[in-house]
Amino acid sequence: MKHSKSVALAVVALLSCSTAASAQGQIDAIAKTSPEQRAKVQTGLMKEKLALTAEQLPKVEAINLATAQKMQPVLESTDGPMIRMRKAKSNEAERDTALQQVLTPQQYQQWLAAKDEIKQKAEQKLLEKRKSGGN
């Protein structure tokens, strides 16, 4: 269960990374997981947060798996963190466009709000880490 939580946090952190420094550490953590693991965790989080219907669930699963598979080369890339972050954000935008076709308008707004909340938490953790003398 602890591994699932760390994978979940890493997946969510990647989805919301906003600085090159935080992106690099998060990418390194996520690179140790498979696309299938990342998609499963992401779908589970979305199912819980968005109350996905039985009809929506397989569609969201497919979108998350496709996104995770597209992210694999980014995670394995030797490109600099800014380039990797740009590619990750592009993949995220594609996923959001696909999700908008599956989710209700209310669910999509909840999804955007959840991503924003996670991004803020990740930024706060990064600031705290820097203040405490971490990298």
Per-domain residue ranges for the chain?
A: 2-131
Give this prediction's pTM.
0.73
Residue the block writes with tokens 């939580």: 5
Mapped to the 3 state alphabet, what secondary structure does 61-118 carry?
A: HHHHHHHHHHHHHHHHCCCCHHHHHHHHHHHHHHHHHHHHHHCCHHHHHHHHHHHHHH
pLDDT tens profile 28-62: 666 688 999 999 999 999 999 999 999 999 999 99
8 — pLDDT class (breaks 50, 70, 90): very low
